[in-house]
Every structure is written in structure tokens, then in C-alpha cells.
Amino acid sequence: MSALDWLNGEAFTAFDQHILWSDMAGNLLGLGALALGWRRSMLTWPVQLLSGLVLVAAYASAHLSGGIGKQVVVVTVAVWGWAQWRRGGATKGRLAIRFATWTERAWLVAGTAAGTVALALLFTAYPKLSWDPWPDAYIFVGTLTAMVAQARGWVEFWFAWLAVDVVGVPLAFNNGLAFSGLVYVIYFVLVVLGLRAWWLQTRTDRAPSGTVPDGATA
């Protein structure tokens, strides 16, 4: 049995849902990355990268091209975000965070909307790419939006993750990735706590924009 076959094998059954090793491991790593992001730790990026690599196998087993693309985005942006945070500054140990400006928010919303429509039309034109073109496209583009906002240190990235999960969780259940749905409550709690922590931090974080996230070297 190859490593890919093992990853896409059944770990256990819960509530009549078959839990895949890849789905479980990838989402647990994703939870860890989210918790590390809440703490503004540099380790959030390598853990996110590993989560994306594992979840590629899970989405491939469900024939969700958009989900696979989402994880490719996760891996790519994790590398970029890691570099962004490392270039973030010099000495004080934590990334300076802030709310996006209204112009930046407008670009995020417009980019998400335009990207979703364009990708959904592509999936619709080529049905083999995705069984659920519109939600699949929304998840793909929404994930990119969230991770770009995270890399920039914008509080809005938490709202973006919430918006992605609203669609992604039922889609995962409907396509046999039950563990993605089962961990939703934990994701939700972490996102709300992270949002609160970042929101409050914007009131007290007066450090220059050039600061280094936890785990970075000067």
C-alpha cells in the first residue's frame, strides 16, 4: 500500500460517516495552524503548509478540484506569508496587526467576488474540474483572500475564514469529508477567540510596523 493509499484510507466511522486519515490529519494540522495564527507565531505558516499538503490527498479522493486548488493556494500562500512575516521587522517579537483600510477592504471584497465568478464559470465550462462549481470556486478564492489578509496582518482575515467555513463545512459533509465538518465547532471557537484577541490587540499594539513574529530570527 502506498503512502497516498494509506492517507486516503478509513481511520474510523463516526455518526455513520467514514473518516479518512488524510481528512482528519489535515484538519488537525489546520486547527494547530489557526491556533498559532491567533498567537501570532511564525510557526503558523509551516504548519499551514503541511496541512495543505495532506488535505490535497483528501480532496483528491473526493474529486473536488476546487478543494485541491484551495490547498495548493494554502501551500503557496503559506510560503509567501512566511516570507512576509519574516520581513516584518526587527526586534520586538510579535507581528504588528491592524484593521485594513476601507480601500483595502474594497479590494478584498471585489477581488473575492470577481475571482469566484471567473473560477465558477471555468468549472461550469469544464464539469470534470468540479462537482460543485460555485461553492468550490467560492472556497478556493475565499481561502486565498483570508491568507493574503493574514499575511498582511489584517484583522479581517478572521472574518474571511468564517465566510469560507459557512460554505465549506456543508460541502465537505456532502462529499464524504466528514471530519472537516466535525471539527467545525472547534474552528469556530478558535476563529472567534482569534478575532477577539487580534481586535483587542489593535487597541494596544503601538509597535512600529516592523516587528518580528514569534519564532522568527532577527
Per-residue pLDDT of 120-174, as tens digits, reads: 999 899 887 777 788 888 888 888 898 889 888 899 988 998 888 788 777 767 7
Domain that holds residue 111: 3-89+98-204
With respect to residue 211, please indicate whether it lies within any of the assigned structural domains. Answer: no
With respect to residue 215, please indicate whether it lies within any of the assigned structural domains. Answer: no
Distance in Å from the first CA to the final CA of the chain: 44
With respect to residue 209, please indicate whether it lies within any of the assigned structural domains. Answer: no
Highest mean pLDDT among 25-29, 101-105, 203-207: 101-105
Q: What is the pLDDT of residues 116-125, one digit of tens each?
A: 999 999 989 9
Number of domains in the chain: 1
With respect to residue 146, please indicate whether it lies within any of the assigned structural domains. Answer: yes
CB 138 within 8 A of CB 113: no
Contacts for 168-171 with beta carbons within 8 Å, 24 or more apart? 168/135, 168/139, 171/64, 171/132, 171/135, 171/136, 171/139
Q: What is the pLDDT of residues 200-217, one digit of tens each?
A: 888 766 545 444 444 444
pLDDT of the residue at 59: 75
With respect to residue 196, please indicate whether it lies within any of the assigned structural domains. Answer: yes
3-state helix, strand, coil in the chain (%, to 5): 70, 5, 25
Task: Share the mean pLDDT of the chain.
Answer: 77
With respect to residue 185, please indicate whether it lies within any of the assigned structural domains. Answer: yes
- pLDDT band per the 50, 70, 90 thresholds, residue 99: very high
pLDDT at 92 over 50: no
With respect to residue 216, please indicate whether it lies within any of the assigned structural domains. Answer: no
- pLDDT band per the 50, 70, 90 thresholds, residue 94: low
CB 56 within 8 A of CB 68: yes
With respect to residue 214, please indicate whether it lies within any of the assigned structural domains. Answer: no
Q: What is the pLDDT of residues 166-202, one digit of tens each?
A: 887 777 677 666 666 667 667 777 888 888 888 888 8
